[in-house]
Structure 1
Amino acid sequence: MRERRAGYLAFDLGASSGRAMLGWLEGPVLHMAEVHRFETSLIERDGHLFWDVEALEQEIWTGLQQALAQMPALRAVSVDSWAVDYVLLNREGRPLRPPYSYRDTRTRPMMARAFARVAPAELYARTGIQLIPINTLYQLLADLEEDPAVLRRAERLLLIADYFNHRLGGQPVVEVSMASTTQLMNVHTRQWDAELLRAFGLDFPCWPEIVPSGQVIGQVRGHPSVAVIASCSHDTACAVAAVPARPGTRWAYISLGTWALLGVERTTPILTDAAREAGFTHEAGLDGTIRFLKNLTGLWVLQECLRAWRQEGPVSWEALEAEARAAPAERCYLDLDDPYFFEPGQMPERIVAYCRQHGLPVPESRGQMVRAILESLARNFRRALRQLEALLEAPVDTLHIVGGGARNRLLCQLTADTCEVRVVAGPAEATAMGNLLIQARTLGDLPEGYTLRDVVARSETCWIYEPHQKSIPQPATER
C-alpha cells in the first residue's frame, strides 16, 4: 500500500546487520516500519577484516527504492552507523581500498607508539576520548606504518555513515558526533586538532569539514525532493537523543547492543586523571551536548554464541532467555572486556576454556552459559555505574536501557538487582527513532511545543524494573 503522507527514512547500520526504517508523525506520535534488512558482513582477506562497502551501498539503494515505493512523499533520509572505521576516497570519490574493521588486529601495537609521541594525559585532555586501540587514530597510525602511500593518495577521509550519506548525494562532510569518536577532534573547539595531526604525522589534506548534528547536506541523487540529512551519524548519539528521560531525574543510560555504552548527558567535560584512568570518554551529542560514557562489551559474546549455536540448528533469543531463567545462578563472572573475547568465532568453546583457566564454574548447558553472560554483563554495569557516580559526585536514581538489549527482560531485572537502581527499558528501536526524529525536527515537522524525548515517550511503551522485584515489570506512564 502506497502511503501519501510525508515521512523520513533512517538507515541504521550495526556491526552485524543493517535495516531501513520508515517513520512518519501523527501529531506527537512517531510510527515506524521496517522496509529492508540486510547483513553487514565482514570480508576476511590476507588475514585482515574489511567491510564490504560496495555490497552495503547496494543494500542502501535497494532500501531507498522500497521506501519510495511505499511512501512516495518521502522528505528525507539519513544514515547512522558504528564509529571509528573510515573510508579513504580517491579523486573520483571512490574507495581506495575496502575499509578495515575495528576488530582487525593490526592496531594492537599502535597505542604504545602513539604515546611515545603524545603522552596519554595530554591526548585525553585535548580530545576527551577513551584510550582504546580501535580508535581511528590508531587505525591511521597503522596505515602510516604499513601503507603510507594510501594516505598520500587520499582526497577525502569519511567515516562509515558519513560515507554513505555522501554516496546518497550529500556533501563529503563528517557529522560532529562521529568526528568526536576518532580521538583527533578537539573536545573544546569541536574541530580537528591540527597540533595532534602534526604530532602524529597525519596532517594530510584529506580531512573533511565537521558539521553539526541535524544539518541538510544535499539531496538524494535522482530524487531532488528528498533531503540528505546528517542527523547524528554515530548510532549511539541517535540512541541517546531518544532516551525518554523525565526532566529533573538523575538519570543515566545504557545503549545496549553489540556494545554497551553507559553514561550521562552533560554540557561540560570531566577531563580529570580519574576519568581517564576509569576509561570514560567524551563523545559529541545532539545540540552541543557531551555523552560522558564508558564503552563496555555488550551483547557481542552472546551474539557470537548464538551464531555458533545456529550452525547446529534453529534457536531464538526468546528460547535462550527461557533457558537462562531456568538455569541456576553459579556466580560464574566472566570479564567480557578481556581481549580474549574480542575476535569472532568459536565463542562457546572459548568461554569453557576461559572458565577452566580462571578456576570458574564451567557452564554445563546452553542455559547456564547464557545466564553466566547476562550476570557478568550486569556485574560490569554495576562497576561502571559506581565509577560514574564517583566522577559525577552524585548518585543516579534511574538507569535507562535502550537498544536491542532492552528486550531481554532477564538482563534488565538482573541489572536492576545488581546495580540497585530503577531500570527503565526501552525503546528497543532508540537508534532509528533518534535518527528519524532528528530528521523531522531539522525539517520543522515536530509538533509545536514537543521535544524529541516528548515524542519518544508518547510513541513507545517502556518497562520499569525495580530492584529485587518478583512481579512482572510495569509499563512506564507518559510524562
Structure 2
Amino acid sequence: MTNVLAMDFGASSGRAIVGRYEDGKIQLDETHRFENGPIYFEDKLSWDVEKLFSEIKQGIKNSNQKYEITSLGIDTWGVDFGLIDEYGDLIGVPMHYRGVNTEKILKRISDFISLQDLYDSTGNQIMKINTLFQILSIREYYPDQYFRTRKILMISDLFNYMLTGKMAAERSIASTTQLTNPYSKDWSKKIVDNFNLNAQLLPEIVDEGNQLGCIRKNLNLGDIQVINVCQHDTASAVLSIPATSPFLFISCGTWSLVGTELNHPILNEKALKYNLTNESGFNKTTEFLKNCTGLWIVQELRRNYHEVGIDFSYEEITEMVKNTKDTVCVIDTDDDLFNEPGDMRQRIAQYASDSQQKVPTGPGEFFKCAYESLAQKYFETIKEIEDATGKTYPEIHVVGGGSKSKYFCQLIANVTQKNVLAGPAEATAMGNVLMQLISLGEIKDVAEARKIVANSVTIESFAPLQKSKLVEE
C-alpha cells in the first residue's frame, strides 16, 4: 500500500487528506481540517500564511501518526501570491483577491495593450482579481514592496518553498495569472514586456509531477518528498473526473468553475465576448472554462444568520428551500454587489428591488434565490461554452462540495436539461493524490487514474425531471 498526503486548500477551508492506494482503489482519510479565510492586516484583506503553514505542519504530523507517508502535494485557489525579498523572506502578508484595489489599473489597461491582444496573448478571462492586475496594483500603490521583490510565488508555490526551500512555479497554478502563453503554457514575454515587468521575478515553470525535493530536515516532519501536483485546485479536480468521453464539468465550491477539457486553447471572438478562460491542466491540456461565483453567497448567508444567533445546517437549508414553493427572484451571482464579504440578505434585497423583482422575506426564500440563481448562471455559461466550442455535450460532471447536495444536482439537471453525474465530492484531493501516484510510478497515466476513481467512489446520476421555469421561454 502507498500512502500519499494531499494538502487541499479551498477559499474557505483546508484539509489534510491521506490517499491510500492498493489493489486499484484509492481510499481517502481526512487527518486534519481547519478554517481558511481572510484576515485584516494593516487594513488590507490578506491571507494569514504563517497560520496556514502551521496547519500544514499539523496535517503532516497527524498523518505521520497514522501512516507512513511517501509524498505530499499542495493545491490551492488561484491568482494570489507572496513576494520574496533578496534574503528569501516573505515581504509583508499576501493580499486576498477580494481586497486588492485593481479598479484604476483595469481602466488603464489600454495604455499597455488592447483587450483583444491581452486575451490573445494569455487566453485568460479578464477579471479584476487576476494576478497580473494585482501585481500592477502593488507596483502602483506599494512601490517599496514591489521593488524589494526578487521572486513572486503563487500561494501553493509559496507553501512548497516554505517546506523545501526550493522555488518553482507549477504550470497549472501559473496559468491563472494572466501572465502565461495559452499555447506554450510558459511565461508570456509579450505580457512581461508590454507591462514593463521584471521577468526575473517569475520563477521557472515546472510540470505537474515534478519531484521538487524533500521537506527540510529542520522542520522535523519526516523524510517526505514534495511533489508539484496540479496545484490549481480546479486542475486537480478535473484530473479526478471519471470520464471516458468529452465532458462538461462544474467544480463547485466557494467558486464554481464551469468548463470542458480540450487539447488546445480557444481564442475566437466568441470566447472573448463571453469572457471564457483557457487554463493549463494535466499534460498541458486546456481547461476551457469560466470562473463563476459558487457557494460563496450561500456561505455568506449562513454566516449572516449565524451572526444573529441562527445556525442552519446544509440539511436544514435544503429542507427550507424544498418547502419554499415559488421562485421569488433571480440574481446575477457574478454581479460586483456580491463580491465582498457582507450582509447578503441586504444585497439580494437591493438587487431584487433595483431589478423590480419581489424581495425575499425569510431564510428559505433567500437560500432558494441563491441556489436557483447559481443554476441559472451554470445554464447560461454552458450555452456560452457550447457556442464558443461549436460542440454540444450531453452530460455534466459536478464535483466538489456542491456535488453532495442531491437537491442542487437535480436542480442543475432540470435547469440545464442535461444529465448530471455527481462526484467525487473530494475531487480536488483525489486529483492531488492521483498526480502524486503518477509521479511515483504507481499509476501509468490519466486514463488509468480516471478508471481508478470510477472504481473507488460512487457516482450518482441525475436525469432532468422537468424543464425549470427559470429557463422557459
Question: For the superposition of Structure 1 and Structure 2, which TM-score range results when normalised by the shorter chain?
Answer: over 0.9
- Decide which of 253, 260, 268 is 2:256's aligned counterpart: 260
Match of 1:474 in 2: none
CA distance in structure 1 between the aligned counterparts of 2:202 and 2:180, rounded to whole angstroms: 11
CA deviations over 1:260-307 (Å, ceiling 9, x no partner): 111110111111121011011000000110000011111110110011
CA distance in structure 2 between the aligned counterparts of 1:47 and 1:341, rounded to whole angstroms: 21
Question: Structure 1 residue 416 and structure 2 residue 413: aligned?
Answer: yes
Matches within 5 A, 1:207-356: 207-222=202-217, 225-245=223-243, 247-248=244-245, 250-311=246-307, 312-356=309-353
CA distance in structure 2 between the aligned counterparts of 1:289 and 1:122, rounded to whole angstroms: 22
CA distance in structure 1 between the aligned counterparts of 2:143 and 2:110, rounded to whole angstroms: 20
Question: Structure 1 residue 168 and structure 2 residue 163: aligned?
Answer: yes
Question: Structure 1 residue 96 and structure 2 residue 91: aligned?
Answer: yes
How far apart are residue 447 of structure 1 and its match? 7.2
CA contact (8 A) 1:244 1:454 kept: yes
How far apart are residue 151 of structure 1 and its match? 1.9
Secondary structure of the structure 1 residue equivalent to 2:106: helix
How far apart are residue 105 of structure 1 and its match? 4.3
CA distance in structure 2 between the aligned counterparts of 1:186 and 1:263, rounded to whole angstroms: 19
- Decide which of 35, 39, 42 is 2:35's aligned counterpart: 39
How far apart are residue 46 of structure 1 and its match? 4.1
Match of 1:14 in 2: 10
Matches within 5 A, 1:447-466: 451-466=448-463
Secondary structure of the structure 2 residue equivalent to 1:411: helix
How far apart are residue 218 of structure 1 and its match? 0.6
Secondary structure of the structure 2 residue equivalent to 1:182: coil
CA distance in structure 2 between the aligned counterparts of 1:258 and 1:107, rounded to whole angstroms: 21
CA contact (8 A) 2:183 2:264 kept: no
Match of 1:427 in 2: 424
Match of 2:195 in 1: 200
CA contact (8 A) 1:268 1:290 kept: yes
Output the amino acid matched with 2:140: E
How far apart are residue 47 of structure 1 and its match? 3.5
Change (3 A) 1:447 1:85: closer
Paired residues in the alignment total 463
How far apart are residue 253 of structure 1 and its match? 0.3
CA distance in structure 1 between the aligned counterparts of 2:59 and 2:100, rounded to whole angstroms: 32
CA contact (8 A) 2:10 2:36 kept: yes
How far apart are residue 93 of structure 1 and its match? 2.1
CA distance in structure 1 between the aligned counterparts of 2:97 and 2:360, rounded to whole angstroms: 30
CA distance in structure 1 between the aligned counterparts of 2:226 and 2:84, rounded to whole angstroms: 20
Question: Structure 1 residue 137 and structure 2 residue 129: aligned?
Answer: no
CA contact (8 A) 1:170 1:219 kept: no
Match of 1:369 in 2: 366
- Decide which of 85, 107, 112 is 1:112's aligned counterpart: 107
CA distance in structure 2 between the aligned counterparts of 1:449 and 1:216, rounded to whole angstroms: 18
CA distance in structure 1 between the aligned counterparts of 2:47 and 2:62, rounded to whole angstroms: 24
CA RMSD of aligned residues (A): 1.6
Secondary structure of the structure 2 residue equivalent to 1:424: strand
How far apart are residue 448 of structure 1 and its match? 9.2
CA contact (8 A) 1:253 1:401 kept: yes
Match of 2:185 in 1: 190
CA contact (8 A) 1:194 1:203 kept: no
Match of 1:476 in 2: none
CA distance in structure 1 between the aligned counterparts of 2:247 and 2:191, rounded to whole angstroms: 34
How far apart are residue 440 of structure 1 and its match? 0.9
CA deviations over 1:64-85 (Å, ceiling 9, x no partner): 11111111x2110011000000
* Larger mean Cα displacement after TM superposition, 142-151 or 378-387: 142-151
- Decide which of 392, 397, 412 is 1:395's aligned counterpart: 392
CA contact (8 A) 2:258 2:289 kept: yes
* Larger mean Cα displacement after TM superposition, 144-153 or 422-431: 144-153
Question: Structure 1 residue 384 and structure 2 residue 392: aligned?
Answer: no
CA contact (8 A) 2:210 2:439 kept: yes
Output the amino acid matched with 1:270: I
Unaligned runs of 5+ in 2: 468-473
Match of 1:477 in 2: none
Secondary structure of the structure 1 residue equivalent to 2:70: strand
Secondary structure of the structure 2 residue equivalent to 1:74: coil
Taking structure 2 as the reference length, the TM-score comes to 0.95
CA deviations over 1:7-29 (Å, ceiling 9, x no partner): 00011111111110011112111
Taking structure 1 as the reference length, the TM-score comes to 0.94
How far apart are residue 171 of structure 1 and its match? 2.1
